[in-house]
Amino acid sequence: MKRTGDLKLIQELNRSIILETIRKHGPISRSEIAKQNELSPTTVTSAVAELINDGYVSESGTGISRGGRRPILLEFSPNNHYLIGVSISYTKITIADINLEAKINIKKIYPTKGYTGVTLINYLLQLLEDFYKLRQDHRICIGISIIIQGIVDAKKGIVHYNPVLLLEDVYLRDSVEYHFRLPTWLDNDTNAYVLAEKNFGRFQDIENLIYITIGEGVGAGVIANHHLCRGEKGGTGELGHTSIDVSGKVCGCGNRGCLENYVSWPATSNRIMKRILEGCDTQLTDYLTNNKDFITPAEFVEAVNEGDGLAIEVTHEIAEYLSAGIVNVVHLFNPQVIILGGDVTNQNQLLIESLREKLRQKTLKTLYKDLYITTSSLGKEFEMVGAASVLLQDKFQFKLTHDHHRLKTSL
Ligand SMILES: [Zn+2]
């Protein structure tokens, strides 16, 4: 039995390696695939036959002959299947029909209407059911992939902790899987974004990569030595609840001075409103009307880029607090790249520059020297690219590590 298991594993791994090669380097010939991966032509031929049969790969013309027949080229077919991506935030649920290159076919956004707990889950199932009916060809749907903030155990499919949406130890993956009879994935949102940067973004070859989201909360997705760090319960990267002030305000988590309470958008927005009420002269007041008593992150960034004094001052404050948290991340994980995500970072070059400068002052020189700090490369559909990445990464074993080859030869 053991031998059969090993053989099946090798076949699956080889199939993943071959699919990955075609996806990244196609159009490509069978012999080139064999050469690049040091696999036998027979292995490649049979795996490719399966991949063509399943619709993941197609033949796409012929290449240049190196003596003999012109080789038939193969390419990845991202549109013969689709997946359903779901992102649950505090204010909205986004559902999309996505191809296998993380391109969106159809997308719908629904407000969460303040629902929490069981009510929210039932609402989600209803929305998904309506969305699912939009297409007839369910046979080619490879699964549902859900991302959400908080502590998520991806392996067991449990949302352990999301205090805003009042979710505690909820078996969300199984509920959805049971309801739709479709394979379902569940992960933390920032883990999804770091996987997306690794699979589809600018940072595919980076070995040590950290994605930090600054939004309604603050979280980090950590890739160390090409592996996503999850921790025992999925709690790796709870950066928002690391303390930057031992005598700071008590946080909902029990700790004092949690980073989240200084740099999340609600925290920043409160500080801005307080200054406005104190009579600070700023163009930010222009965004307030009788019906709108808040400022959005995009409006804030616009004010920064137009040189508004208060907006600039607040940006430096955010950078100061953030650097106090991120310096610990750098000293713990020694990343090569840190990516900042969230609306307040989008187009906000001043924030990045200010953060770089403050980190330079606080970080061990050796660790700061080649550290690159930048904003997300995923574009405005980052949530859905993230959701797609969670499923695609797991199902097709897209290359996170360079260990495939070692594993293959050692077996
Ligand atoms: Zn906390």
CA of residue 236 to ligand 1 center, whole Å: 14
Say how far apart CA 72 and CA 68 lie, in whole Å: 12
CA torsion angle 22 23 25 26 (round to 10): 60
In which residue ranges of the chain is pLDDT below 70? 1-5, 398-411
CATH among 3.40.50.1820, 1.10.3720.10, 3.30.420.40, 3.40.50.720 for 202-377: 3.30.420.40
DSSP type of residue 380 = T
Contact status, residue 243 vs residue 262, Cβ threshold 8 Å: no
The type of residue at 333 is F
CA of residue 251 to ligand 1 center, whole Å: 4
CA of residue 345 to ligand 1 center, whole Å: 22
- Determine whether domain 4-77 maps to CATH 1.10.10.10: yes
Please state whether the predicted TM-score (pTM) of the whole model is above 0.95.
no
Q: What does the domain layout of the chain look like in residue ranges? A: 4-77, 81-195+384-393, 202-377
**E strands, 149-266, in order:** 151-153, 158-162, 167-170, 184-188, 209-214, 218-224, 227-228
Q: What is the pLDDT of residue 204?
A: 87
Q: What is the pLDDT of residue 398?
A: 59
Contact status, residue 88 vs residue 148, Cβ threshold 8 Å: yes
CA proximity to 120, closest of 277, 128, 44, 376 = 128
Q: What is the pLDDT of residue 4?
A: 62
DSSP type of residue 342 = S
CATH superfamily of 81-195+384-393: ATPase, nucleotide binding domain (3.30.420.40)
Say how far apart CA 211 and CA 97 lie, in whole Å: 25
pLDDT tens, position by position, 379-391:
899 999 999 999 9
The type of residue at 221 is G
Residue that the structure tokens 């307040």 belong to: 344
| Tokens matching residue 318 | 């955010």
Contact status, residue 368 vs residue 359, Cβ threshold 8 Å: yes
Residue that the structure tokens 């859900």 belong to: 146
Same fold, 4-77 and 202-377: no
In sequence order, the 6+-apart residues with CB closer than 8 A to the CB of 48 are 18, 30, 33, 57, 74
CA of residue 272 to ligand 1 center, whole Å: 22
CA of residue 326 to ligand 1 center, whole Å: 16
CA of residue 158 to ligand 1 center, whole Å: 21
Of all residues in the chain, what percent carry a pLDDT higher than 90?
Answer: 84
Contact status, residue 218 vs residue 324, Cβ threshold 8 Å: no
Q: 273 φ, ψ to 5°? A: -60, -35
CA proximity to 344, closest of 317, 309, 381, 371 = 317
Say how far apart CA 134 and CA 140 lie, in whole Å: 14
CA of residue 27 to ligand 1 center, whole Å: 50
The type of residue at 94 is T
* N-terminal to C-terminal alpha carbon distance within the chain: 15
CA of residue 210 to ligand 1 center, whole Å: 20
| Tokens matching residue 348 | 């906000």
Q: What is the pLDDT of residue 402?
A: 43
Neighbours of ion ligand 1 (CB under 5 A): 241, 251, 253, 255, 258
